[in-house]
Amino acid sequence: MSLNRKDLLGIKDLSVDEIRLILETAEPMKDITRREIKKVPVLRGKAIINLFYEPSTRTRTSFELAGKYMSADTINISTSTSSVVKGESLRDTGKTLEAMGADIIIIRHAAAGAPYLLSKYVSASVINAGDGFHEHPTQALLDMFTIKEKKGQIEGLTVAIIGDILHSRVARSNIWCLTKMGARVRVIGPSTLLPPEIEKLGVTVYTNVEEGLIDADVVMVLRIQLERQQKGLFPTIREYARVFGINAERLGLASPDVLVMHPGPMNRGVEIAPEVADGIQSVINEQVTNGVAVRMALLYLLAGGGNPHETVI
Amino acid sequence: MKLLFKDGRVIDPGNNFSQIADIMVDEGRISAVGAGLRPDGAEVIDVKGKLVFPGFIDMHVHLREPGLEAKETIATGTRAAAMGGFTGVACMPNTKPVIDNQAMVEFVKSRAASAGAVNVFPIGAITKGSAGNELAEIGDMKLAGAVAVSDDGHPVMNAQMMRLAMQYAKMFDVPVISHCEDLNLVAEGVMNEGYYSTVYGLKGISRAAEEVMVARDIMLAELTGARVHIAHISTEGSVELVRMAKKKGLKVTAEATPHHFTLVDEVVGGYDTSTKVNPPLRSKDDVKAIKQGLHDGTIDVIATDHAPHTLEEKDVEFNYAPFGMVGLETAVGLAFRELVRPGLLSVEELARKLSLNPARILGLAKGHLGVGADADITVVDPELCEIVDVNRFATKGRNTPFKGWELVGLPVLTIVGGRVVMRERQLVI
């Protein structure tokens, strides 16, 4: 079985079988990342371009290493040092990269829908590495992989997502993915940071963090951005930390073997207390490790690879 | 040059006339209406089976000239109007520079006289530069031929400024056309706020962003006694507010666009920037309320808010694209599809929304087919079917979400001042 699609633009359009395929393919990929010589030749001769219109460390590096571990040629373009500052349109940038032979373009963009637009312009595969408040599908996939690895399965788990849901692509992709996989999803946040009609996505909404945490199997803490406070969406960082910050005491309300996740980068002492971020229930670093494996799986499948167990890697 | 339109169904609510009849046009005016008129040397045009309307007037159009000629010109915009069955358009002042003084109004009129295909009625700005700070020379512009004032696209956020504008405009009997949008509430939104803005990850524009200003301007209309026309209402709440204002007997009128009575916010899903419009496409309930408002007379006018943009401006990320879609060449077909065929509007009521009411609001001696009236006539073939093909548009704009739609009920003749400008879906100018 292979992934029968050109692009990965969001979780919303993925089937459960496709999600399972990506997660299963990521398992042998994770083994590769643990080898002494982390190199397999499966994407040799493929050109992968990281086109990042927003700053990023972990996602960009993760994709770059994923490509390199599989012997692809990976190139990073950050827009501050490219023709984008000269006013080049997304269409022209896409066409230019395609003309140079790009096989896969990974795009991060502040505007929702930009990967969708790019995918219409180019015949190369397009992977959404985060677009506006819309989706961040590989983050959700690596979160699924991490939960599955730790809990054995996703179905039936109660997952609480806490923070700025309104501006979070991570939350949206995770809501799609978790609900498709059969988890119960709660979203928790200040009322000014909850998107309209979010409950129609099949989640339960809480503005009281204690209530939302009760018996949760997984707690996903989102980054709170200072910019939101400046726009008046909540009064102070201090009050946010007091009312919504996840500390050890609050975490005690969740299931005893709760997993604590964070997509990073963290504001320690704001949305997450240091003792929680570094506590035994935290799988934040494993998320990063798994991110490489999941992205390897995705690149491999989009490049036309079949079941890796049947291939010599 | 005399023209005789034979055997059409003449729909003239201004004269309480709706029956099969002939119309004779002579010297740019209607010289006779009745059965069995003799040609008397006139060219006979057979309009049997067709609907003969007083010329349609679109009171909300962006012709973009001067300054934005890459988007549209008076020549191309008025040709689009002719193709769409409009014999007249009122053009918004948000050009570069803004039409905020007598000289600019005269410029538009003179360009229209030399290059235009249909009547052009300039709308002047409410405030200088549409900046919202000082009144524009409304009296001067009225004397130069402006038919209304509006800061369309740049809502007058200062309520005191709007109050003064209404008081002042009333003195000249100039209607104030209000683009209702509280910019603080819009807060960088790009589509309707609701389930779909959540799913698509785009910033939402709440209904309240429109409704608070509709409510404000209705209250100011009551305070000042001015004539206030609410542009492009898009929400259930706005329809209700206008309904209440009318019940109170205030001089408040309102318009709705074809896209707001046809499309819902879900269509933004493909991030097709031709669906990015201001006010945004709303929910099913809002569309239903707009249709109901048109049906029960709360909404007086169908106007397009024809807003052409260049391909390169629109072929970008959704957030970065300008708001607006073209509408002149699809409006009549959409009105038939959404309103006339489903029985929401009779053809007589359609004639009011597209001709008589805009003429009355703008103070034009048009909008009817009585003897002596200007021979502005639109003939519609209610059975004619056409697929919307943007490459055949007369407008420079290609920004329409209706491309590929099948429309039934299209204008086949546009006559301006006794002169045929469009015939059988072809421009003849």
SS (H, E, C) chain B: CEEEEEEEEEEEHHHCEEEEEEEEEECCEEEEEECCCCCCCCEEEECCCCEEEECEEEEEECCCCCCCCCCCCHHHHHHHHHHCCEEEEEECCCCCCCCCCHHHHHHHHHHHHHHCCCEEEEEECCEHHHCCCCECCHHHHHHHCCCEEECCCCCCCCHHHHHHHHHHHHHCCCCEEECCCCHHHHCCCCEECCHHHHHHCCCEECHHHHHHHHHHHHHHHHHHCCCEEECCCCCHHHHHHHHHHHHCCCCEEEEECHHHHHCCHHHHHHCCHHHCCCCCCCCHHHHHHHHHHHHHCCCCEECCCECCCCHHHHCCCHHHCCCCECCCCCHHHHHHHHHHCCCCCCHHHHHHHHHHHHHHHHCCCCCCCCCCCECCEEEEEEEEEEECCHHHCCCCCCCCCCCCCEEEEEEEEEEECCEEEEECCEECC
Rounded alpha-carbon distances, angstroms, from residue A159 to A179, A215, A217, A242, B42: 10, 9, 6, 22, 80
Q: In whole angstroms, what is the distance from residue B300 CA to residue B362 CA?
A: 12
Beta partners for B65? Answer: none
* Phi/psi at B375 (5° precision): -80, 70
Give the up-direction half-sphere exposure of residue B227: CA atoms within 13 A in the CB hemisphere: 15
CB atoms within 10 A of CB B107: 19
Of B100, B217, B265, B305, which is the active-site residue? Answer: B305
Rounded alpha-carbon distances, angstroms, from residue A101 to A75, A94, B306, B422: 12, 11, 41, 50
- B411: region left, alpha or beta (phi > 0 left; psi from -120 to 50 alpha): beta
CB atoms within 10 A of CB B171: 11
Closest CA–CA distance from residue B228 to any residue of chain A (Å)? 33
Closest CA–CA distance from residue A112 to any residue of chain B (Å)? 6
Cis peptide before B258 (omega within 30 of 0): no
DSSP tag of A246? B
Per the listing, tokens 């109170």 go with B248
pLDDT at residue number A312? 45
Contacts of B193 in chain A (CB under 8 A): 196
Going residue by residue through chain A (313 aa), what tens digit of pLDDT does each one get?
678 899 999 999 999 999 999 999 999 999 999 999 999 999 999 999 999 999 888 999 999 999 999 999 999 998 776 666 678 899 999 999 999 999 999 999 999 999 999 999 999 999 999 999 999 999 999 999 999 999 999 999 999 999 999 999 999 999 999 999 999 999 999 999 999 999 999 999 999 999 999 999 999 999 998 888 888 899 999 999 999 999 999 999 999 999 999 999 999 999 999 999 999 999 999 999 999 999 999 999 999 876 555 554 4
Contacts of B195 in chain A (CB under 8 A): 196-197, 200
pLDDT at residue number B183? 97
Q: In whole angstroms, what is the distance from residue B405 CA to residue B411 CA?
A: 16
- Contact call for A197 and B312, based on CB within 8 A: no
Structural tokens at position B242: 């206008």
Q: Which residues of B fall below an 8 Å CB-CB distance to A?
A: 193-195, 197-204, 270-271, 312, 315-320
User: Could you tell me which residues come within 8 angstroms of residue B53 by beta carbon, excluding any fewer than 6 positions away?
Assistant: B11, B12, B85, B347, B350, B351, B354, B355, B377, B378, B379, B380
Please, which residues 161-180 of chain A have a Cβ atom closer than 8 Å to chain B? 169, 172
Q: In whole angstroms, what is the distance from residue B367 CA to residue B353 CA?
A: 10
| Mutate which: A54, A117, A199, vs B, most B CBs within 10 A | A117
Minimum Cα–Cα distance from A175: chain B residue: B199
Q: In whole angstroms, what is the distance from residue B5 CA to residue A299 CA?
A: 68
End-to-end C-alpha distance for chain B, whole angstroms: 16
What value, to the nearest 5°, has the Cα angle with vertex B323 and ends B320 and B325?
Answer: 130
pLDDT at residue number B256? 98
Interhelix angle B74-83/B102-115, nearest 10 degrees: 60
Structural tokens at position A148: 């599955």
Residues of chain B with pLDDT > 90, as a percent, come to 99
Contact B358, B303 (CB under 8 A): yes
DSSP tag of A7? -
- Contact call for B317 and A114, based on CB within 8 A: yes
Q: Buried b / exposed e across B55-79, counting CB within 10 Å, b at 16+?
A: bbbbbbbbbbbbebbebbbbbbbbb
Closest CA–CA distance from residue A240 to any residue of chain B (Å)? 22
Q: In whole angstroms, what is the distance from residue A147 CA to residue B247 CA?
A: 60
Q: In whole angstroms, what is the distance from residue B165 CA to residue B134 CA?
A: 9
Helices (H), A181-216: 209-213
Q: How far is CA A148 from the centre of its chain?
A: 15
Ranges of residues in chain B with a pLDDT under 50 are none
- Collapsing DSSP states into helix, strand and coil, what is residue A267? coil
Q: Which of B372, B374, B345 is nearest to B54 (CA)?
A: B374
DSSP tag of A180? H
Closest CA–CA distance from residue A168 to any residue of chain B (Å)? 8
Inform me whether the C-beta atom of residue A205 falls under 8 Å from chain B C-beta atoms: no
Beta partners for A159? Answer: A185, A218
- What ipTM goes with this model? 0.93
DSSP tag of A309? G
Q: In whole angstroms, what is the distance from residue B57 CA to residue B376 CA?
A: 10
Q: Buried b / exposed e across A230-250, counting CB within 10 Å, b at 16+?
A: eeebbeebeebbeebbbeeeb
Interhelix angle B207-224/B159-171, nearest 10 degrees: 40
DSSP tag of A3? -
Beta partners for A206? Answer: A188
Please, which residues 90-149 of chain A have a Cβ atom closer than 8 Å to chain B? 90-91, 109-114, 116-117, 131-135
Contacts of A110 in chain B (CB under 8 A): 319
Name the pairing type of β-strands A203-206 and B301-302: unpaired
Whether B305 is a known active-site residue: answer: yes
Q: Which of A130, A181, A146 is nearest to A15 (CA)?
A: A181
> DSSP states of A100-150 as a string?
TT-SEEEEEESSTTHHHHHHHH-SSEEEEEEETTTB-HHHHHHHHHHHHHH
Contacts of B317 in chain A (CB under 8 A): 90, 109, 111, 113-114, 117
